[in-house]
Amino acid sequence: MPKPVSHPNTRSDRTDNLILDMPKVELHMHVEGSLEPELLFSLAEKNGVALPWRTIDELKAAYHFKDLAEFVDLFIQGTQVVKSADDLYAITMAYLQKCHQDNIRHTEVHCDIRTYVDYGFAPEMVLDGISAAFADAKKHWGITGGMLPCFIRHLGVEKAEQDLRLLAPYRDRILAIGLAAVEVGYPPALFTEVFAKARDMGIRAIAHAGEEGDPDYIWQAIDDIKVDRIDHGIRCLEDKQLTETLRQRQIPLTVCPFSNVALGVFERLEDHCLPQLLEAGLNVSIHSDDPAFFGGYLIDNMHGVVEHCGLDETDLVTMQYNAINSSFADAQRKAELRRELDEFVHNHSLMAQSRSA
Ligand SMILES: [Zn+2]
């Protein structure tokens, strides 16, 4: 398995402190992707769920993925330990606690409704559990954010249509609807109509595209689904015209370096195209995707790209401004987040330009 995790003894203290202190925004993190093996085992025990792994180490040893499809399989297996809103609260809260420790000030989390509905649960179980955790994180630590339920693309359009009907009554409780899971073979254009219906209901759209899928998947996310944001989008560099369109329109790309290495999109972190995406003037930001599976949280990804991709502190700050501008926070919250980051930049005498939204 590729080893994207950075080596603590080679980090400089200054970079360590700077990354930790920087006020951060995360826009691409799947709730169950933060389910650490320890919590997975304790939920399995509480709910009487038999697991295919006998020990935590055995589960960790299973985190070797050939590709996205293999990972999605394991990810779905993890959802079987979830039986109540309280369980989803516990998973989300563990992540938000980590956000607090790591100074993530705003986070928008992808979640899955369909899997739980197919297990026989109501969609409220997911929405209530996650939103209760966000309410507590806001009260205790001032962390803001919300939910991005995703259509599971490999289950097809009909299921997505059903999901939209389930989510429609709750459209005020979600930030957007996304498109996630196995990408190749399920291009965004298949979902044009269901996303058009969502748009008519006032629901924003995001989509995973161009992670394993070719640049055409990204074109379709833009032209057919009319996304506000693209998750990954890293293969855009294979198409000059696409790269130029993304640059001109500043369509956000939420990039997840550790994920891309763990799923074999790049062999090593050193090969990741993040520096080229920044160089091309694209609106890119950095995120963890599924931190419990891919070897690290947001700050670990930030350390990784400094150590292995040649990015510097200014690049990290630029990506944080991009993340604020690309978030679905309201104008007032975005202004607050920008002020916090401005202050950080000023206090650390960093040079980075605050691009306005
Ligand atoms: Zn993702």
Ligand 1 mean position, distance from CA 14 (Å): 30
What DSSP assignment string belongs to 102-130?
Answer: HTEEEEEEEEESHHHHHTT--HHHHHHHH
Q: Give the percent of the chain with pLDDT over 90.
A: 85
Catalytic, 211? Answer yes
Q: What is the pTM of this model?
A: 0.94
Say what the pLDDT of residue 168 is.
97
Ligand 1 mean position, distance from CA 49 (Å): 26
Say if 10 falls within a structural domain: no
Catalytic residue (choose from 32, 108, 211, 336)? 211
Taking residues 179-196, report their average pLDDT: 95
Say if 353 falls within a structural domain: no
Task: Decide if pLDDT at 289 tops 90.
Answer: yes
Angle (CA) 172 176 182, round 5° = 140
Instruction: Report the chain's mean pLDDT, rounded to a whole number.
Output: 93
Contact 339, 40 (CB under 8 A): no
Say if 335 falls within a structural domain: yes
**Separation of CA 339 from chain center:** 24
Ligand 1 mean position, distance from CA 110 (Å): 8
pLDDT tens digits along 195-218: 999 999 999 999 999 999 999 999
Say if 185 falls within a structural domain: yes
Say if 3 falls within a structural domain: no
Say what the pLDDT of residue 352 is.
55
Helices and strands, counts by H and E, the chain: 17, 8
Say if 251 falls within a structural domain: yes
Q: Which of 76, 296, 98, 93 is nearest to 180 (CA)?
A: 76
Taking residues 294-311, report their average pLDDT: 96
**CATH number, position 197:** 3.20.20.140
Taking residues 125-139, report their average pLDDT: 98
Total domains in the fold of the chain: 1
Query: How many whole angstroms separate alpha carbon 307 and alpha carbon 269?
Result: 9
Q: Whole domain around residue 196: which residue ranges?
A: 24-347
Q: Inter-axis angle of helices 313-326 and 13-21, to 10 degrees?
A: 10
Ligand 1 mean position, distance from CA 349 (Å): 34
Q: What one-character DSSP code corresponds to residue 23? A: -
Query: How many whole angstroms separate alpha carbon 188 and alpha carbon 142?
Result: 35
Say if 2 falls within a structural domain: no
Say if 271 falls within a structural domain: yes
